[in-house]
Structure 1
Amino acid sequence: MRCPPGRWSPPPHGRTTEPEDATPLPSLALYDSMMSTRGIRIRTTPVVSDPRPIIFFEQFGFAGGGKATLSISRASWRLRPDSPLKIVGADLMGFVLISGAQFPSINNQTEYADADPGGGTGFCVLTSGHALPVLRLNDVPPRGAASTVTVDEPGEYAVVFSNCQDGVEVTMDVLTEMYNVRSSDGARDYLPVGLQPLPAIYACVSAVYAAFLAAWAWACARRRDAAERIHAVMGALLLFKALKTACAAEDAWFVERTGTPHGWDVAFYVFGFFKGVLLFTVIVLIGTGWSFLKPYLQERDKSVLMIVIPLQVIENLVLVVIGETGPTGRDWVVWNQVFLLVDLICCCAIFFPIIWSIRSLREASKTDGKAARNLHKLTLFKRFYLVVVGYLYFTRIIVSAFLAVLSYRYKWGVNIAVEAASFAFYLFVFYNFQPVERNPYLYIGEDEEPAEGLEMDNGAF
Structure 2
Amino acid sequence: MGKITPFSFLLPFVILLSYLSPSSAEIKTLTISSDSRTLILFEKFGFTPRGVVSISLSSVSVTSSLSIDPSHLGFFLLSDESLLQAAYASEQQQQQNVPGCVLESPFVKRLFYFTDLSPPPSASYNHSFPITHPDEYSLFFANCAPQTQVSMEVRTEMYNSNPDGSKDYLSVGQSPVPSIYYTFAFTYVVFFGVWIYLTLIKHRLNSHRIHHLMSCLILIRSLYLICAAEDQHFIRVTGTPHGWDVLFYVFQLLKGVLLFAVIVLVGTGWSFLKPFLQEKEKKVLMVVIPLQVIANIASVVIGENGPFIRDWVTWNQIFLLIDVACCCAVLFPIIWSIRSLRETSKTDGKAAKNLAKLTLFRQFYIVVIGYLYFTRIIVYALRTIASYKYRWVSVAAEEMATLAFYLVMFYMFRPVERNQYFVLDDDEEEAAEAALREEEFEL
Structure 1 length as normaliser, TM-score? 0.87
- Give the drift of 1:40: 3.3
Task: State the match for 1:396 in structure 2.
Answer: 376
What's the Cα RMSD here? Answer: 2.2
Asked if the contact 1:181/1:188 (under 8 Å) is kept, the reply is: yes
Structure 2 distance, partners of 1:36, 1:169, is 29
Please list every run of 5 or more consecutive structure 1 residues that lacks an aligned counterpart in the other structure.
1-19, 80-84, 115-119, 449-461
**Equivalent in 197, 204, 217 of residue 183 of structure 2:** 204
Task: State the match for 1:194 in structure 2.
Answer: 173
Task: State the match for 1:165 in structure 2.
Answer: 145
Asked if the contact 1:53/1:163 (under 8 Å) is kept, the reply is: yes
Structure 1 residues 300 and 38 mapped into 2: Cα distance closer, same or farther (>3 Å)? farther
Could you give the per-residue CA deviations for residues 115-144 of structure 1, whole angstroms, max 9, x where no partner exists?
xxxxx9634221111112212223223551
Q: Which range moves more in the overlay, 34-43 or 388-397?
A: 34-43
- Give the drift of 1:280: 0.3
**Equivalent in 187, 203, 211 of residue 231 of structure 1:** 211
Moved over 4 A (4+): 110-114, 444-448
Structure 2 distance, partners of 1:190, 1:106, is 28
**Equivalent in 213, 218, 229 of residue 197 of structure 2:** 218
* Greater per-residue helix proportion: 2
Structure 1 distance, partners of 2:209, 2:6, is 67
The code of the aligned residue for 2:179 comes to A
- Give the drift of 1:399: 1.0
Could you give the per-residue CA deviations for residues 15-46 of structure 1, whole angstroms, max 9, x where no partner exists?
xxxxx997362222122211134523200111
**Equivalent in 239, 244, 251 of residue 259 of structure 1:** 239
- Give the drift of 1:109: 2.1
Q: Which range moves more in the overlay, 27-36 or 135-144?
A: 135-144
**Equivalent in 19, 34, 38 of residue 49 of structure 1:** 34
Structure 1 residues 30 and 371 mapped into 2: Cα distance closer, same or farther (>3 Å)? same
Identity %: 48
- Asked if 1:182 is matched to 2:162, the reply is yes
- Give the drift of 1:276: 0.5
The code of the aligned residue for 2:214 comes to M
Asked if the contact 2:223/2:251 (under 8 Å) is kept, the reply is: yes
The code of the aligned residue for 1:155 comes to D
Could you give the per-residue CA deviations for residues 61-87 of structure 1, whole angstroms, max 9, x where no partner exists?
1000211011111111223xxxxx632
Structure 2 distance, partners of 1:66, 1:21, is 28
Structure 1 residues 430 and 304 mapped into 2: Cα distance closer, same or farther (>3 Å)? same
Asked if the contact 1:58/1:159 (under 8 Å) is kept, the reply is: yes
Asked if the contact 2:7/2:102 (under 8 Å) is kept, the reply is: no
Structure 1 residues 37 and 391 mapped into 2: Cα distance closer, same or farther (>3 Å)? farther
- Asked if 1:270 is matched to 2:250, the reply is yes
Structure 1 residues 113 and 304 mapped into 2: Cα distance closer, same or farther (>3 Å)? closer
Q: Residue 149 of structure 1 aligns to a residue in which SS?
A: strand
- Give the drift of 1:168: 1.6
Q: Which range moves more in the overlay, 69-78 or 225-234?
A: 69-78
| Number of residue equivalences | 417
Structure 2 length as normaliser, TM-score? 0.90
Asked if the contact 1:112/1:122 (under 8 Å) is kept, the reply is: no
Asked if the contact 1:50/1:170 (under 8 Å) is kept, the reply is: yes
Asked if the contact 2:46/2:136 (under 8 Å) is kept, the reply is: yes
Structure 2 distance, partners of 1:258, 1:234, is 36
Structure 1 distance, partners of 2:308, 2:78, is 16
**Equivalent in 18, 43, 47 of residue 33 of structure 1:** 18
Structure 1 residues 78 and 394 mapped into 2: Cα distance closer, same or farther (>3 Å)? same
Structure 2 distance, partners of 1:349, 1:207, is 31
Q: Which range moves more in the overlay, 160-169 or 231-240?
A: 160-169
Task: State the match for 1:126 in structure 2.
Answer: 103
Asked if the contact 2:220/2:255 (under 8 Å) is kept, the reply is: yes
Q: Residue 23 of structure 1 aligns to a residue in which SS?
A: helix
The code of the aligned residue for 1:367 comes to T
Q: Residue 380 of structure 1 aligns to a residue in which SS?
A: helix
Q: Residue 204 of structure 2 aligns to a residue in which SS?
A: coil
Please list every run of 5 or more consecutive structure 2 residues that lacks an aligned counterpart in the other structure.
430-443
Structure 1 distance, partners of 2:92, 2:117, is 25
- Give the drift of 1:92: 0.2
- Asked if 1:343 is matched to 2:343, the reply is no
- Asked if 1:314 is matched to 2:299, the reply is no
- Asked if 1:433 is matched to 2:385, the reply is no
- Give the drift of 1:425: 0.1
Q: Residue 261 of structure 1 aligns to a residue in which SS?
A: coil
The code of the aligned residue for 1:87 comes to S
The code of the aligned residue for 1:58 comes to E
**Equivalent in 136, 161, 168 of residue 113 of structure 2:** 136
Q: Residue 96 of structure 1 aligns to a residue in which SS?
A: strand
- Give the drift of 1:95: 0.3
Q: Which range moves more in the overlay, 101-110 or 239-248?
A: 101-110
Structure 1 distance, partners of 2:22, 2:115, is 33
Structure 1 residues 394 and 112 mapped into 2: Cα distance closer, same or farther (>3 Å)? closer
Could you give the per-residue CA deviations for residues 376-434 of structure 1, whole angstroms, max 9, x where no partner exists?
21111011001101101110111111111100000000000000000000000111111
Q: Which range moves more in the overlay, 126-135 or 226-235?
A: 126-135
Structure 1 residues 297 and 113 mapped into 2: Cα distance closer, same or farther (>3 Å)? closer
**Equivalent in 259, 267, 274 of residue 287 of structure 1:** 267
**Equivalent in 385, 396, 399 of residue 405 of structure 1:** 385
**Equivalent in 22, 32, 49 of residue 64 of structure 1:** 49
Structure 1 residues 306 and 199 mapped into 2: Cα distance closer, same or farther (>3 Å)? same
